[in-house]
Each structure stands twice: as C-alpha cells, then as structure tokens.
Amino acid sequence: MFTLSYLTTSIHSLLIIITVLIGVAYFTLAERKILSSIQRRKGPDVVGFLGLLQPLADGLKLFTKETIIPSNADTLLFLIAPLITFILSLMIWGVLPVGNFMVLSDLPLGILYIFAASSLEVYGVILAGWSSNSRYAFLGSLRTVAQMISYEISIGFIIISVVLLTNSLNLINIVYLQKNIWFLIPLFPMFLMFLVSMLAETNRHPFDLPEAESELVSGYNVEYSGMSFALFFLGEYAAMFLMSSYAVVLFCGGWFLPINFFIFEPFVFGFKVMFFIFLFIWARAALPRYRYDQLMRLGWKVFCPFTLGWTIFISSILIAFIF
C-alpha cells in the first residue's frame, strides 16, 4: 500500500514538473510573439510551423552548450545556486489547486508553506552573485535580495488580509469561499498592489533593476552559461507562472466562474493564469524602467504603510461587526 501510494505521488509530481516546464517553454514563445506584434515585427517563425518548435530548439541549444566556470569562482556554490532557484520554483506547485480535488498535497497550512519556500529563493540568488566572484554579479544579487525582501513584506500583508477574511490558511478553502464573489471586488486596492508586487517580486519589467543591462550587464547570472543559465531562466519564468496562479487562487476565484455552467476546471484556471501572464508581457513592452531608489521608495514608503493600514482596517471591521 505504501509503495503504491509513493508511486502515485511520484507520478503526479512528475506530471506537474513536465506541465510546468512545457508551460514555461511556450511562455517564452508567447512572450516573443506578443512583443514582436506590439513592435510590428514577425518574431520567431522559422523553426517549425509558425515557430512552434522554437522553444525546443532553444532548450536543446542551452543543453548542449558548455558550462563555463570562472577561474576565481567558488565552484560548488556556483553550481548549486541555479539548482536551488529551480527546485524551489517547482516545490510550491505541489500545494496549488488547479481544480476541485486537483492538488498534489492539500496542506492545511498551504499559505505558510508557500511563504517558507518562496523566502528561500533569495539564497539561490545571493549564492550566485557571491560565488561568481564578479562585481557585476554581486551587485545584481544584492539588488535582487533587497527588492525581493522589500516587496515580500507588502505581499505578506496583502495575503494576511485574505486570511483574515477567510479565517483559513488552506488554499482550497480560500477558493471555495470565492464561489459567490471573488475577493478581487472587496479587496480591489490590495489586488492592484499585489499586481505591482508580483512584477517586483519576480524582477520583471518595469522593476528589472537587478538585471539592468545598461548598469549591471546582466545581473547576478552574468557569469552563467549553458544549462546552469537555463536553470535560472526556467526558475524565473516558473516564478511568473507561480505568482499568476497565486493571484488567481487568492483574488480571482480559482477555477470558479461568475456564471454557473460546467467547464473543465483546469481550463478555467489556466485561462485566468494566461490573463496575468499577458500582463507581465504587456508591462515589459509598454512601461519604462524605474530607478532603483524609486523602486525601494515605492516598496517601503507607499506599499508597506498602505498594506499594513488596510490589514488593520479589515481586522477592525471584522472585530466590530462579526466577532
């Protein structure tokens, strides 16, 4: 019995990993296609029909390229850093529900698990910058860590407000409590700040200061090549998928629709995730990059006080009118 259960869990985990990797691969193609349409050019259209095999060709190229290790680098930490980032970006998918009973592990404290796993990602980044023994990489890693920690605080207060409304840390319970009304409506200001914090947390435009080419060449991964660079790349895009799914679960009703008719639940969930993915791509095409001091001022002097005040406001209403 234990062997069968272990085998089933392993198969489900493998299916999740394969699905995420395929989704990330074609996310890169969608990004290049959408950006090229916005900029009035064709984009990838040579490898395969309409360029549909381009992600596979890019993956094969990175897999076959040589991994160059700088002579002054700390070799062990240099190679471990991308693995930490990639593995942590996949671990969180085990508790995210994409449909009714469609989750690998229905943890009662699912939100705390996501907090714990996402907070560990800074270690992969700081190890990459330090072990490369490069000033550009180290400055990029310091920027990344400061940015992620700053906006994790505001994200934490936003999620606490959702937890206060639901009185639950279980992600499936949070989705079910949005069956009649999505939390997007009563928590609309928090939802908008969550969208901005998503961009900053994943180091995406207009908050891609850790990878600012004009200042830091490429940021913390400047010394990486081949498959080690591909792991950082996959981890970054998987994090965007993850934050989009997290937004769907917390604010957009998960697999529920405002109208009552049956559609295969993962399709509904995936369609909502694609909307947030499009926002990531649109922001890259349309918005100018912030200065670093503007980014940190926004996080510490605007988002943190506002989210803290809103959390206190919600808790005060609950205490006054419900409890």
SS3 assignment for 272-286: HHHHHHHHHHHHHHH
Euclidean distance between CA atoms 203 and 143, whole angstroms = 10
Domain count, the chain: 2
Euclidean distance between CA atoms 270 and 124, whole angstroms = 28
Choosing from 32, 64, 96, the residue where a domain stops is 64
Euclidean distance between CA atoms 247 and 41, whole angstroms = 31
Tell me, yes or no, whether 242 and 134 share the same domain.
Answer: yes
| Residue 288 CB partners (closer than 8 Å, separation 6+) | 206
How many CB atoms are located within 10 Å of the residue 222 CB? 22
Tell me, yes or no, whether 77 and 172 share the same domain.
Answer: yes
Identify the pLDDT of residue 306. 92
Tell me, yes or no, whether 12 and 75 share the same domain.
Answer: no
Question: Residue 54 is part of which domain span?
Answer: 1-64
Tell me, yes or no, whether 20 and 100 share the same domain.
Answer: no
Tell me, yes or no, whether 32 and 15 share the same domain.
Answer: yes
Peptide bond into 186 cis (omega under 30): no
Tell me, yes or no, whether 236 and 218 share the same domain.
Answer: yes
Written as six digits, the tokens of 238 are 């998987």
Tell me, yes or no, whether 56 and 109 share the same domain.
Answer: no
Identify the pLDDT of residue 262. 65
- The pLDDT tens digits of the residues spanning 141-157 come to 888 888 888 888 889 89
Tell me, yes or no, whether 268 and 287 share the same domain.
Answer: yes
Euclidean distance between CA atoms 116 and 212, whole angstroms = 28
pTM score over 0.85: yes
Residues of the chain with pLDDT under 70: 1-5, 210-217, 260-262, 323
**Is the torsion defined by CA of 65, 66, 70, 73 positive or negative?**
positive
